[in-house]
A and B are shown apart, each in its own frame.
Chain A
Amino acid sequence: MTEEVKAPKKEKIPRQKMPEQEPKVRARNFEEVPHGYTPELAQKEAERCIQCKDPRCKQGCPVEIEIPQFIAKIKEGDFEGAIRKLWEKNSLPAVCGRVCPQEVQCEGLCIIGKKDEPVAIGNLERFAADHQRLHGRDVLPPKADPTGKKVAVVGAGPAGLTVAGDLILKGHEVTIFEALHGPGGVLLYGIPEFRLPKAIVAQECNFLERMGVKIEVNSVIGRSETVDELLERFDAVFLGVGAGLPVFLKIPGEHFIGVYSANEYLTRSNLMKAYEFPAYDTPIVKGKNVATFGGGNVAMDGARTALRLGADHSYIIYRRSHDELPARSAEVHHAEEEGVEFLLLTNPLRFLGDDATGRLTGVECLRQELGEPDASGRRRPVPIPGSEFVVDIDTAVISIGSGSNPLLTKSTPGLSLNKWGYIVADPKTGKTMKPRVWAGGDIVTGSATVILAMGAGRMASNSIHDYLTYGW
């Protein structure tokens, strides 16, 4: 390891930044924030990788992408070679390059990061995928001979899309059933356009369809059809329905007009394109003073969407301190640059509103300070008595997490659920307690990340393939 660090004696190249829209400008439009690398910038960044023999970055990657190998291809200018390397392990690189928390995964372990900034693996992944999409040859991977086996995938989020993509390649027939009117899951309805352009999601889904995957939208399994009915028509069923249940603060005044769950706010804006109202028919409250509650990616997306919808003030109200913000560091950084105001160590007590119009007018909060560390080692916030204060707001976006939506699980006898309502599945295979039924992604783990959902999909697809081929 040590010899690798000192071996190449050449001019030090700093980490290459992606060109991006100016904060002031982009805070008012829905276009993507960074423009992505040019081939020159990508190759320059790729040079920073010292091609470790025993790469630590790969250990940090939940799907174990051969990181140095794809980076080497970029360095050589073989961009198609780079994307092929990525595709071996990751079917959605254009998505992952944009939304993975690289700083705690691959980049967090990169050896260069010990003394300097780590290699920008995420940016390079994104570059390879974008270059392929925009300039690459249109190549469809070869499919195995048809097996005659049929698989139903419920939910078209990252977990379901991964299962579908894997199994179609192995020669099985795959049909995805999706409740909404379009596929993509959170990638479509949750993560905003300015972070993940919907054209990319559509292209990935379209790619699957060209490979032969059938996608039946508008199919709410549990209502339009039950899992048991699917089992009559299909040899195996994969459940990747996500964690689509909004969690409210459970404080007084949540009924006021202008109080949204993050799911509703983001669905209106992203899926229904309310930011283009009235060209699109779905409206959204375009608040002047917006507070988003929570500190994760969802909260950053809410607060940044509010700015783009025209807010004068967009606050993040979070009960812990800056260090504990669970969002990707890039998102926090972008939010700060764009002018999102952070009210940290602050806990909401109740919403205030106008009883005649029903509209939200403010939120009463309590300040907190950091106390003793709790079981997780984090210093617990404790309320400061008498520190109540009111923030004037007309819109609130509640982004404090999500739960398991019982619509499918309740209508499926034989599944075993944990105490939070998530499906119990074998962590190595995705097998549930119900024969011929697999599950993975947020509906098993609770809300996590795109790449973990894809990783779970990969494991389940291997297990499903084994079952369809060998009967176990």
Chain B
Amino acid sequence: MFEIVERQEMAQGTIISNWIKAPKIAAKAKPGQFVILRANEKGERIPLTMADTDPAKGLINIIYMVVGKSTALFKTLQVGQGYLDVIGPLGQPTHLEKVGKVICVGGGTGIAVLYPITRGLKQMGNYVYSVVGARSKDLLILEDQMKAASDELMICTDDGTYGHKGFVTDKLRETLEKHKDIALAVCIGPVPMMKFCCKVTKEFNVKTLVSLNPIMVDGTGMCGCCRVKVGGQMKFACVDGPEFEGHEVDWDELNLRLRSYVAEEKVSFDQFKGAHAPGCSCSR
């Protein structure tokens, strides 16, 4: 078992952070890489990015949004309990280099994926503008961490409860207009957000990295479930990615494939909710 040693609820319990004991993975992991977790014998293999690691203590940090059965099941796991399987580090690490000025844009739990990359870019000596967004103030995560990892941090909420009222794309456009020397954009969040960010950066001809989250099974390039179209070619996100050149990604195809199992996911989630009263913390 891979034990949870620290657990935190964020964004009103919709986003959970776990620090998990996995010394071998912690020793190897680099920003941009992910792990696959399975809670129990009947569980699905779920990919989650490592938001942080502590190699000295042998710990990895995952931050996930509760969206369905498996993440709801993960949420029931308390400190001292853990995951049956954790596999990683998987995927290509982010290629971190000094390019000068960069802009990092994150939405929702995408901020958790963005954070280690932002920090890495800053450590390389880049000047980092960051834009983070959430639906409302209560749902924003990792503000302090992102502030520390950036030179300038901008905040957006859809409902205006905090920072700029509106989408991250507004601030992205504004910043790109002001600073024509920005050489790289990193945009991570829900598919529509990444798609629209790419539209904006394309106008300014700024190279853009995105992190794709197709459905996966093995995470080792064996099954082809995670195939995405990039630059007209079939790529496997688990081994070729998960980061890709955003202007090349076929977003509509990704969006459709993410909906492969909507009907089954509902069956599974409804059954889970039926069996567990709100607040139940068993790990069934």
Point out residues on A near B: beta carbons under 8 Å: 179-181, 217-218, 220, 223-225, 244-246, 248, 254-255, 257, 260-261, 263-264, 267-268, 272-273, 277-283, 285, 357-358, 405-407
Contact = CB atoms under 8 A, between A and B. Distances in A.
Interface residues of B, number: 42
Interface string B79-107: 00000111111100000000000000000
Contact of A281 (B69, B221, B256): B69
Contacts of A357: 256, 259
B2 to A, nearest CB: 9
Nearest to B216: A264
6 closest A-B pairs (Cβ-Cβ)? Answer: A358-B256, A283-B264, A264-B223, A246-B224, A244-B222, A281-B44
A254 B227 CA distance: 10
A278 B271 contact: yes
Interface in B140-180: none
Interface of A is mostly: loop
Contact of B220 (A244, A248, A280): A244
Contacts of B261: 283, 285
Contacts of A277: 264, 268
Contacts of A283: 261, 264-265, 268
B48 interface: no
A261 B226 CA distance: 11
Instruction: Give the one of B38, B70, B224, B229 with max A CB within 10 A.
Output: B224
Given A218-B87, A248-B234, A358-B257, A263 B264 contact: no
A263 B234 contact: no
Contact of B86 (A218, A248, A281, A407): A218
A225 to B, nearest CB: 7
A268 B218 CA distance: 10
Given A281-B42, A283-B264, A283-B265, A220 B257 contact: no
A405 B89 contact: no
B44 A272 contact: yes
A257 B253 CA distance: 10
Interface string B241-275: 00000000000010011011100110110010000
A257 B44 contact: no
Interface string B205-237: 000000000000111111111010100001000
A263 B222 contact: yes
Nearest to A278: B268
B199 interface: no
Interface of B: 24-25, 28, 38, 42-45, 69-70, 73, 84-90, 217-225, 227, 229, 234, 239, 253, 256-257, 259-261, 264-265, 267-268, 271
Contact of B227 (A255, A278, A282): A255
Contacts of B259: 257, 357-358
B88 A223 contact: yes
A234 B221 CA distance: 27
Nearest to A244: B222
Given A283-B261, A283-B264, A246 B223 contact: yes
B223 A407 contact: no
Contacts of B90: 220, 223
21 contacts: A181-B45, A220-B220, A224-B87, A244-B220, A245-B221, A246-B223, A246-B224, A257-B256, A261-B224, A267-B222, A268-B217, A277-B268, A279-B42, A281-B42, A283-B268, A357-B256, A358-B253, A358-B259, A358-B260, A405-B220, A407-B220
Contact of A264 (B24, B219, B224, B271): B224
A419 B153 CA distance: 50
B223 A181 contact: no
Given A277-B268, A405-B221, A254 B234 contact: yes
B45 A218 contact: no
A207 B59 CA distance: 33
Contacts of A248: 224, 234
A217 B85 contact: yes
Nearest to B39: A281
A298 to B, nearest CB: 13
A179 B87 CA distance: 8
Contact of B253 (A218, A255, A260, A405): A255
Contacts of A279: 42
A180 to B, nearest CB: 7
Contacts of A273: 42
A245 B222 contact: yes
Contacts of B44: 272, 281-282
Nearest to A273: B42
A404 to B, nearest CB: 11
Given A181-B45, A181-B85, A223-B90, 13 more contacts: A218-B85, A218-B86, A220-B87, A244-B220, A246-B224, A257-B256, A264-B217, A267-B223, A272-B217, A278-B264, A279-B42, A358-B256, A405-B221
